[in-house]
Structures are given as C-alpha cells and as structure tokens.
Amino acid sequence: MNPETLKQEAYTDIEACNNLQELEAVRVKYVGRKSELTLALRGLKDLPLEERRNAAPKLQQARKEIEGMLASKEKELASSKAEAKVDLTRPGTRHAFGHLHPLTLMEKEVVDIFTSMNFSVIDGPEVETEHYNFDVLNIPANHPAREMWDTFWLKGGNDSRSRKLLRTHTSPMQVRYMETHTPPLQIIVPGRVFRYEATDASHEINFYQVEGLMVGRDVSLANFKYVIEEFLKKMFGPKTEFRFRPSYFPFTEPSVEVDVRLVGGKGEQSESLRAIAESRKSEWLEVMGAGMVNPKVFEAAGYNPEEWQGFAFGVGLERLAMLKYKIPDIRLFYSDDLRIINQF
Amino acid sequence: MKFSYSLIKEFVPQLPPKKKLVEELNLKAFEAEVLAGDALDISLPANRYADAASHWGIAKEAAAIFDLKVSLPAGFGRAVNLPSGNKLFSVKVEDPALCLRYDALLLSLEKKTASPSWLKKYLEACGLRPINLIVDIMNYAMLETGQPLHAFDYDKIAGDGRNKKIIIRRAKAGERMEGLDGKTYNLSAGDLVIADAEGILAIAGIKGGKRAEVDSSTKKIFIESANFSAPEVYATSKQLNLVTDASARFARDLSPELAEYGAARAAYLVKELSGGRVLDSFEYYPKAAKGEIIGFSVEKAASVLGVSVKKNESMAILKKLGMAILPSKNERFDFLVQTPVLRRDLQTTEDLIEEVGRIYGYNNIPSRPPHIYLKPAETDDILVAKRRARDFLRNLGFSEIYSYSFFDKPSSDWIWSSSPKEKTLLEIQNPIASDKKYLRGELTSYMLAALQDNSRHFDELPIFEVGKVFSAAGERFHLAIGFGSKDKPASAALKGVVNQLLLSFGITEIFFRPSGSGSTFIEIDHNVIGRVSVVDGKDQRAIAELDLEEIKNASSEEFEYRALPKYPSISRDLSLEFDNAVPVGDILEEINRAKVEHLWDVDVADYYDQRRFTLRLVFQAWDKTLRDEEAEREAASIINQLKRKFSFVIR
C-alpha cells in the first residue's frame, strides 16, 4: 500500500461526498477499524525494525491528513445543512411605511435648495386683505390688470383693509415681511393660494406657490439669473438650459418670465424634461414669473426705493411636481386616493 | 389678440419671416405664437394696449427689434383739412371725467359697395366676421390704429340739423338698450352711455345699439372716435358682464391722441371705398395728452440690470422705440427721455430701464452670484413643526393627503372650541360650488371621506393631513390623523399615535378627557388642543384632529439625563372582573389617587372587554431594592382604593 496513493484516493472520495452519511462511509473506508490504513498501522509492530522505521511516519502522516480532510468536509457539510433550514429566498416581511404627499416632497426640495443659499423660510396668511393682495402690489381696483387674478372674496368688509379674500398669490408676503424686517434680506414663502376659476387638468381652485424675495443695496437682475439658474439646475439637472423673456407684473419692473429648454440646444436635457417635450410638443417650458421689485412696492412697505433694490419671483409647486413626477392632471394632487400617494 | 402677419408687413415692408418675427417678439417684447394661415397670436400685457394693440403698434415694436423703418400707408396719420362748423349736429359731454376726447365725423355715402376681398381677408385673419362695408371699415381701422370706432346712421339719430344732439352721459336707473346683437341690455344708474333726445344709442366704449344701426339704406354716417375713462368702461363692462373688442381696449387706458388717427383713417377708407365725402366734423378734447419727460441714469440701469449698457447704446435703443433724447441739467441723470404719447406705460426710470434691458436682451445679461451679508437663515417655527409632524407620522406608517380649503357646513359640532368666534365659519361671497361655500373649519370631514374612499382598497388605513383651518378668530394649522382597521380598535391605536407624536415634541403632560359619546378631548396643561373621535360606532375608524399651533407652542426641547435605576423593579399583574362595564380611564385615575409611593408605571396588559382586563403595575424604588412585601402592600392599597368606587373581583 502506498500512502501517497491512498491520500489521493481519500481526497477524491471525500470531495465527492454530498452529505454526512456518505462522508461517514468514506471515513470507515479509509480510517475505520478495518480499513487498509488502520490494519497497516496495526501491522507495523510485526515488521523488521528497519522497515518499520521507514514506513511508520508515512502511514501516521497519511492518517493525520485524511482525518484533517474528513473534519473539514464534515464542517462544510454541517454548515450547509444549517443553511438549508433558513430559506433566504423568502421575501422580507412588509413593514408599515408611510408616504408624504408629492407636493410636500416638492416643497421640501425647493425649500432645501433655497435654505442652502441662505434664504429664510416664512409662512403667511391664506386669508388676505385686498390691501395686501392687490393695492400694495400696484394692482389698483377697477383696473383690468386685476383680471390676471380671479379672486375668491369673503363676505363682509367695507374698505380694502377690511375686505378679505383668499390670496391669489404669495406675493402679499413681500410687503408684509418688509414691513417688519430691515434689509438686506432674502426669503422664500411657500404656501397655498387660490383662484376662482373652472378646474381642468392644469387649473385648480387651490394650489401652491413659492414666493422669493431678495433685497439689498445692489441686488440686480444678473443676481436673479444666478440664483434661479442654480435653483433650476439643482431641480432639473446641471446641464439645464434657460431663457429669460420680458413679461408684465404690476409689482415688478422690469418683469421677466423664465423658461427651461425641453429639447434642442445643446441637447443635454434630463430625461424628465425630454419626456415633457414629447407630450407638449414644445421646445421651451415656462416655469416662473419674476422681476425686479417695483419701487412702488418698496414705498408701500416703507422702504426708500432710492436705497434698496431687489428681485422677486413666484414659482408654482404643482407645475414643478407635474414635471418632476410626470403627473398628468393637477386634480390628482387633491384626490385622497392612497393608491396614488403611496407611489411617492 | 390675433394679428395678420401680412398686414404688419404692410407697415414694415422688410419684416422678417413669420417664424423669426415670433421668436424675437417672444424674447424682446410679447409672448407670441404662430397660428394657422396668416394669423399670429400675441398676448399683450394690460399696460401695452395703449400703443401696441394694433398692427401699427406691433409694426413699431418689430421695427425697433429688427432695426427697420415703419412706413405708413396713404391716409394714415393725423386728420387734416376737415370741414367743420356746418352745424349738422351737436355733441355734449355731460361729465368731463367720463370722456377725455370725442371726435366725430359726418360723411355722406355716394356708392354702395361690398367690402373688397383684401379687407375681408384681414378681418378674418384677425378673427372678425365681415358684416357690411361701413362696419368692416370701422373694424379694419381699429385693427390698423388700435382706436375703437363706431358708425351711427345719421338719419336715425333724433332731431334735425343742430338739434341732432349727441349726449355723452350716465345712464338713469331702468334705462335699457337693444344692442346690435339683438339682445336687450338693462343699464344701471351711472353706466356711461351715448344718447340722443330719444334715449340711448350706444353703451359708451362697449356696444352699439340697434336704433341707429348702419344698414344697406344708410346715406350718411356719423363716425365716433372717442376716448372714454378707462375705469368707467371697465366698471360698466364688468357690471354688464360684457367684454367687447372696444371695451377691452378702452379699459386698458388708451391715449386720447389715438382717437385722431382712428377718425382720419376711417374717413380716408370710407372716401376711398365708398366714394363718400366729409360733411362736417367735431372735436372735444379739452386737455391734450402729452408724453412724459423722464430722467435716465446709465449707472442706475447698470445697477438694476447687473450689466453695464453704454450710454450711446441705451440712447440708441430708446430712440428706436420712438423716444426723443433731451439733455439733462440734473446731474443725477445722463439724459432726459421724452416718451411717445401713446406709450402710457412709461412713467418712471425703471420703466425705461426695462425698455433698454429687453431690447439689449435679457439673455445677454450675465449670471452673477449676489454678495450677501451672512445672516443666519431662519425657518418659521410653525413650518418646522409642520415638517416634524409630517416626518414623524410618515415614519409611523401614515400617508399624507391634501384636501380642499373649502367645505360645506357640517351639520354637527365641527370644532372642540367653546369660543363663539372660533365656532363662526368664514363664508365665501362668490363660491364656486354649493358644497364649497365656507372655508373649512376643520380637517375631520375630509379625513372621514378619505377613510371611506380608500376602504375598498386597504385593510388598514393610516392617513394624515396638515392644513389651515379658518374661523372668525383667524386661521391655524391643524393636523388630522385618520386610522381605519378591520381587526384592531382604531381609537386605542390613534390615542397611542397621538401620545407618541406629542412625546416626540417634548410634551409629556398629556390627558385624554372624554367629551361625549365616542370622542375624547386631548389636553395639554389643562388646555384642549384636539379631539379623538370614533367615527363609525364600531371603533374600526377613528380620527384625531389637533391644533398644530398649540403643539408648537407647548413643544419643548429640554431633555435631561436621569441616572438609570440601580435596583430591580417589581411587576404585578392585576386581572380584574367588574360587575358592570367601566372606563379604563376612570380606573387609572383612581389608581393615581391612591398615591402609592413606589408605583412607577401602569399599563393595560390585556383587554378582554369593558368588564374584564388586566393591569400591569410596576413598582420601583430609587434608593433600595424593593422587597416583595412592600410591593404587595402597595398593590393592596391600590385595590382598596378601587374597591371604594367599583365592584369587582380579582381573578
């Protein structure tokens, strides 16, 4: 018997074992009481001294190694047996997890971008007076400019400071905030606003805006462009392209409208923007109205327009959320269907 | 507003192609869009009707943008050499505040022809329906000049010669007029009208009347080219709920100067197309409108725009827009600008800066980060509270809904407050629907609907909403939490949520006080801040509504370390069986009254029904290891306390 050949054979047999029973049979075969190896070891005493001295270490070594191989295989088989008891392919148990409304998520995203640029976040009243909603913003009574804002009026009141309405925009907070704070300042005002109009896929009687206002000694339109481009890049991707167009709001002068490019140009729009382009068949999408604060608004707030200047903007949260989450109908935001909410 | 591209091109022969025109108008002037055929849609802001609500006006704007010349067609301009004083009619303006200008022309019509096809084509491109030659000319002259015009049949005006009197006055109560459209308009006292001796001929600046309508037998026409007070026309148009091409223009404050262009152009076209002759004319124009003189500072413009536009370039832009440049003696200004009389929107330096900015091109202005004073940014406390409540509930498995701010007045008690002001709802003057007449005074009704609406799709419904509620006392953020479950008591689950929520705001003194059948008040510091209500009678659906402002006010961030107990605690379970149903709350209150020294915590370990439940009492001493006998003694004193009020056995 050649111990080296025996080791080779034992190794092949041990590796072929699939379970502990088979391994036991192999153990008996190679190191059992009646195995060739055991018998050979037992027979050593009958050998001449010279021969014994030569064979003994080889046989003992072979036994030790085979026992080592058996032990290691046994460990391997035992552990795979334990694994078999746990089925890790079972799906994880479901834990209750709630969902924030998509408009909450959107507002959070907008607010976080602006707070990262040192804007304060302010809340304002939803029931407003005619005075703050219109008069101080240079939107006189009996002027068709007011038709830009279809208004819900509350009963009662006999002058513009006591006549109440549901704010048609978050802009009244520009003056309310400036009345009680000294510049320089930069704020955003997220909140619900209201329009008296028929609802359809893109119009609701209540919706959300985020107002922005920055006032300083030399805050300029170029500064506005920077702040808003940073905002839109964080929102829609670093390669978003913009354009600024003239517009008209009684409370800003100059007034601008901001568009983001959906297709064309350098062609590096985010996927969500390209998807909108497809559904809208347009190259640009209007995302906000803005401008340099009209000196009349500063006067109404008690600031000296010779000393201060700044920009203001208003952005619709639903529109951003519709773009970002591909929601086709504004009315879905105000349905109470959890099957929709739970997607966010 | 619809425009004809080829008619604009008549004023600017070198006008670039339609697509290019629209592109540049968008970037430098107005939102514009290419429509089918010859038409363009241009959205004019309210302050630019005065100069730009016409093909002439758009032509001037395009010429400034593309640096081209405007060429006026024959017979376009100010009226010259009109016969007047022939006493064929008279005009009386009763109130100078109502009518700033009244130009009138009397023309004879020599031959009757239909409108030529080019005229019809332009009208149709602009969305107007051809009617007859005279009406079409009036409309066409308006499209060209921007001045609304009206033609009356001279012979149908009451009176003869100088007794044919046109009066511009306010309507009397009860007066009515049959319009050209055949409808009868009931006027209110104060509405501005054009009348003769017999009554109303037209609603000034809004609508012509049937009585003096021009038709195929008309021999002489009386053309009115006037300027009526913008707020008056706007008010009358709103009152009658009637918006016409003319009223939309007058309401947006046209310049009285425009009247002359309109009259001259209409007269020229009538002479050309109908072979007519001017018989007499009249002008009422007590106070001539003038352009403004405004100072321009290059430095101020650079500061507002954030880019330095050179003096010469600014001057060139303003000149292109029809402004005259004058030297300034005031050092604050680099020069003075005289604005065109039709540009009523230009009143201040900022208005001029806008003109320079838009023609220079907003997209040519660089983006530059602002220099700011580093002042810590702050977030209003209530907004922080909103975010905390939302995050907390979301993490607890609740999903958020948004509902409308309007509701129908609920029949029952909708708010826990006893203050009459807080119980008075705010009512909408012009509600959009009969179930949206009030501002919501609570969030519970919408939550109730949400539990109902979603019940088909979910076995368990954890929902919440954060939103403003309104009353005569003001508006406040409320928080509504709804819970629906098919197999566990909804109210107990909700009370647990409310409790944890308040604890997360650092509020520890929380009491639930029963407030009637199926509902309990939530109190902190003896102040009711909300209510938990079972809404289905079976305790499978419950709603909690809380005042978030009160939570914000009571919230505290003052946590303090307390050493862990060094000695073991002892628990004793008490399984009680009462003779009659009892509220667990009453039992817990009674246990508190026993005031035993080492009672550390009481909880309901097992609840079988209102007669049978198990309480777990935990005893803990801070200075020693409590002995069993001590715990037994305290448990016995608790049982004694309960025995005084309730009849029960210990199982």
Whether residue A293 lies inside any domain: the answer is yes
If asked whether residues A114 and A210 sit together in one domain, one would say yes
Q: Answer positive or negative: Cα dihedral of B623, B626, B631, B637.
A: negative
Q: Which residues from chain B sit within 8 angstroms of residue A144, using beta carbons?
A: 46, 234, 248, 251-252
Longest CA pairwise span in chain B (Å): 125
If asked whether residues B514 and B392 sit together in one domain, one would say yes
pLDDT value for A82: 60
Q: Which of B405, B439, B459 to probe the A interface (max A CBs under 10 A)? A: B405
| Cα A58 → chain centroid | 68
If asked whether residues A131 and A175 sit together in one domain, one would say yes
User: Would the CB atoms of B252 and A144 count as touching at under 8 Å?
Assistant: yes
User: Would the CB atoms of A221 and B306 count as touching at under 8 Å?
Assistant: yes
Q: pLDDT digits over B351-401, tens only? A: 999 999 999 999 999 999 999 888 889 999 999 999 999 999 999 999 999
Q: How far apart are CA B10 and CA B37, in angstroms?
A: 17
Q: How far apart are CA B337 and CA B346, in angstroms?
A: 10
Asked which of B241, B258, B284 is the last residue of a domain, the reply is: B284
**B229 in Cβ contact with B97 (< 8 Å):** yes
| Residue B102, pLDDT above cutoff 90 | yes
Whether residue B372 lies inside any domain: the answer is no
Q: pLDDT digits over B327-365, tens only? A: 999 999 999 999 999 999 999 999 999 999 999 999 999
Take residue B177 and report the two structure tokens written for it. Answer: 């007029």
H-helix or E-strand spanning residue B529: strand B527-534
User: Would the CB atoms of A99 and B372 count as touching at under 8 Å?
Assistant: no
Whether residue A91 lies inside any domain: the answer is no
Whether residue A324 lies inside any domain: the answer is yes
Q: Which residues from chain A sit within 8 angstroms of residue B379, using beta carbons?
A: 111, 115, 120-121
Whether residue A135 lies inside any domain: the answer is yes
If asked whether residues A219 and A329 sit together in one domain, one would say yes
**B475 in Cβ contact with B442 (< 8 Å):** no
If asked whether residues A141 and A216 sit together in one domain, one would say yes
| Residue B64, pLDDT above cutoff 90 | yes
CA distance A113 to chain B (A): 12
Q: Which residues from chain A sit within 8 angstroms of residue B371, using beta carbons?
A: 216, 218
Q: Which CATH number does the domain housing residue A252 bear? A: 3.30.930.10
Q: How far apart are CA A172 and CA A167, in angstroms?
A: 8
Asked which of B506, B530, B554 is the last residue of a domain, the reply is: B554
If asked whether residues A66 and A201 sit together in one domain, one would say no
Q: pLDDT digits over B524-577, tens only? A: 988 999 999 998 888 999 999 999 999 999 998 777 888 888 899 999 999 999
pLDDT value for A335: 92
If asked whether residues A70 and A108 sit together in one domain, one would say no
Tens-binned pLDDT, residue by residue, of chain A (344 aa)? 788 888 899 999 998 988 888 899 999 999 988 888 888 888 888 888 888 888 888 888 989 999 999 999 888 888 776 666 777 888 888 887 899 999 999 999 999 999 999 999 999 999 999 999 999 999 988 788 888 889 999 999 889 999 999 999 999 999 999 999 999 999 999 999 999 999 998 899 999 999 999 999 999 999 999 999 999 999 988 888 999 999 999 999 999 999 998 877 776 777 767 766 666 667 888 999 999 999 999 999 999 999 999 999 999 999 999 888 888 899 999 999 999 999 99
User: Would the CB atoms of B457 and A339 count as touching at under 8 Å?
Assistant: yes
| Residue B508, pLDDT above cutoff 70 | yes
Whether residue A94 lies inside any domain: the answer is no
If asked whether residues B357 and B390 sit together in one domain, one would say no
B353 closest CB neighbour out of A164, A184, A254:
A254
pLDDT value for B397: 94
User: Would the CB atoms of A336 and B453 count as touching at under 8 Å?
Assistant: yes
Average pLDDT of the residues in B322-329: 96
If asked whether residues B414 and B547 sit together in one domain, one would say yes
Whether residue A96 lies inside any domain: the answer is no
CA distance B480 to chain A (A): 13
pLDDT value for A142: 78
Whether residue A160 lies inside any domain: the answer is yes
Question: Three-class SS string for B121-140?
Answer: HHHHHCCCCCCCHHHHHHHH
CA distance B240 to chain A (A): 14
Whether residue B82 lies inside any domain: the answer is no
Q: How far apart are CA B271 and CA B281, in angstroms?
A: 15
B370 closest CB neighbour out of A98, A226, A294:
A226
If asked whether residues A243 and A139 sit together in one domain, one would say yes
Whether residue A29 lies inside any domain: the answer is yes
Q: Which of A338, A340, A344 to probe the B interface (max B CBs under 10 A)? A: A338
If asked whether residues A41 and A180 sit together in one domain, one would say no
Q: pLDDT digits over B21-36, tens only? A: 999 999 999 999 999 9
For B:393-422, CB contacts with A below 8 A are: 393-406
B394 closest CB neighbour out of A99, A115, A219:
A99
Residue A214 β-bridge partners: A186, A311
Q: How far is CA B626 from CA B181, B241, B313, B602, in A?
A: 98, 85, 93, 17
pLDDT value for A280: 66
pLDDT value for B57: 97
Query: Closest by alpha carbon to B238, among A159, A146, A162, A157?
Result: A146
H-helix or E-strand spanning residue B549: helix B548-554
Q: How far apart are CA B568 and CA B499, in angstroms?
A: 27
Q: Which of A152, A230, A249 to probe the B interface (max B CBs under 10 A)? A: A152
Q: In chain B, which residue's Cα lies nearest the Cα of A190?
A: B383
Q: pLDDT digits over B579-605, tens only? A: 998 888 888 888 988 888 899 999 988
Q: How far apart are CA A169 and CA A313, in angstroms?
A: 11
If asked whether residues B536 and B579 sit together in one domain, one would say no
If asked whether residues B114 and B60 sit together in one domain, one would say no
Which one-letter DSSP state was computed for residue B244?
Answer: -
Asked which of A53, A85, A117 is the last residue of a domain, the reply is: A85
Task: Write phi, then psi, for B238 (nearest 5 degrees).
Answer: -70, -40
If asked whether residues A81 and A181 sit together in one domain, one would say no
User: Would the CB atoms of B45 and A253 count as touching at under 8 Å?
Assistant: no
pLDDT value for B595: 86
Q: How far apart are CA B262 and CA A57, in angstroms?
A: 126
Task: Give the contacts of A309 (CB within 8 A, at least 6 positions apart).
Answer: A215, A216, A217, A218, A219, A220, A292, A293, B303, B304
If asked whether residues B600 and B638 sit together in one domain, one would say yes
| Residue B625, pLDDT above cutoff 70 | yes
Whether residue B336 lies inside any domain: the answer is yes
B432 closest CB neighbour out of A205, A255, A333:
A205
Question: Could you tell me the residue range of the domain that residue B6 belongs to?
Answer: 2-66
Whether residue B75 lies inside any domain: the answer is no
Q: Which CATH number does the domain housing residue B598 bear? A: 3.30.70.380
pLDDT value for A262: 83
Whether residue B638 lies inside any domain: the answer is yes
User: Would the CB atoms of A100 and B449 count as touching at under 8 Å?
Assistant: no
Residue B411, CB-side half-sphere exposure with 13 Å CA sphere: 0
pLDDT confidence band for B509 (50 / 70 / 90): confident
Q: Which CATH number does the domain housing residue B298 bear? A: 3.30.56.10
Q: Which CATH number does the domain housing residue B95 bear? A: 3.50.40.10
Amino acid in the structure at residue B476: R
Residue A237 β-bridge partners: none
User: Would the CB atoms of A223 and B382 count as touching at under 8 Å?
Assistant: no
B397 closest CB neighbour out of A97, A145, A253:
A97
Whether residue B251 lies inside any domain: the answer is yes
Which one-letter DSSP state was computed for residue A200?
Answer: B
User: Would the CB atoms of B354 and A122 count as touching at under 8 Å?
Assistant: no
If asked whether residues A164 and A262 sit together in one domain, one would say yes
User: Would the CB atoms of A206 and B26 count as touching at under 8 Å?
Assistant: no
Q: Which residues from chain B sit within 8 angstroms of residue A152, using beta carbons?
A: 428-432
pLDDT value for A83: 62
Question: Could you tell me the residue range of the domain that residue A32 belongs to?
Answer: 3-85
Q: How far apart are CA A240 and CA A230, in angstroms?
A: 10
Number of domains present in the structure of chain B:
5
If asked whether residues B59 and B156 sit together in one domain, one would say no
If asked whether residues B426 and B536 sit together in one domain, one would say yes
If asked whether residues B410 and B276 sit together in one domain, one would say no
Q: Which residues from chain A sit within 8 angstroms of residue B432, using beta carbons?
A: 152, 196, 205
Chain A with chain B: Cβ pairs closer than 8 A = 235
Which one-letter DSSP state was computed for residue B275?
Answer: -
Task: Write phi, then psi, for B169 (nearest 5 degrees).
Answer: -145, 180
CA distance A28 to chain B (A): 57
| Residue B316, pLDDT above cutoff 80 | yes
B379 and chain A in contact, CB less than 8 A: yes
Take residue B136 and report the two structure tokens written for it. Answer: 């079409």
Q: Which of A199, A219, A220, A313 to probe the B interface (max B CBs under 10 A)? A: A220
Q: Which residues from chain B sit within 8 angstroms of residue A205, using beta carbons?
A: 404, 406, 432, 436
If asked whether residues A120 and A51 sit together in one domain, one would say no
Q: Which CATH number does the domain housing residue B518 bear? A: 3.30.930.10
CA distance A91 to chain B (A): 20
CA distance B259 to chain A (A): 21
CA distance A30 to chain B (A): 59
| Cα B391 → chain centroid | 31
Whether residue B374 lies inside any domain: the answer is no
Three-state DSSP at B595 gives coil
User: Would the CB atoms of B304 and A226 count as touching at under 8 Å?
Assistant: no
Q: Which of A142, A205, A218 to probe the B interface (max B CBs under 10 A)? A: A142
For B:248-287, CB contacts with A below 8 A are: 248, 251-252
Asked which of B331, B364, B397 is the last residue of a domain, the reply is: B364
Burial of A132 (0-12, 13-18, 19+ CB in 10 A): buried
CA distance A90 to chain B (A): 23
B300 and chain A in contact, CB less than 8 A: no
Whether residue B640 lies inside any domain: the answer is yes
Query: Closest by alpha carbon to A70, among A101, A107, A113, A26?
Result: A26
Q: pLDDT digits over B190-240, tens only? A: 899 999 999 999 999 999 999 999 998 899 999 999 999 999 999 999 989
Average pLDDT of the residues in B251-264: 95
If asked whether residues B501 and B405 sit together in one domain, one would say yes
B366 and chain A in contact, CB less than 8 A: yes
If asked whether residues A45 and A171 sit together in one domain, one would say no
Q: Which residues from chain A sit within 8 angstroms of residue B28, using beta carbons?
A: 246
Placement of tokens 């600046």 in the chain: B205
CA distance B386 to chain A (A): 10
pLDDT value for B248: 95
If asked whether residues B254 and B308 sit together in one domain, one would say no
Number of domains present in the structure of chain A:
2
Q: In chain A, which residue's Cα lies nearest the Cα of B249?
A: A144
Q: Which residues from chain A sit within 8 angstroms of residue B46, using beta carbons?
A: 143-145, 147-148, 248
Q: What angle do CA B203, B208, B210 make, to 5 degrees?
A: 120
Which one-letter DSSP state was computed for residue B427?
Answer: B
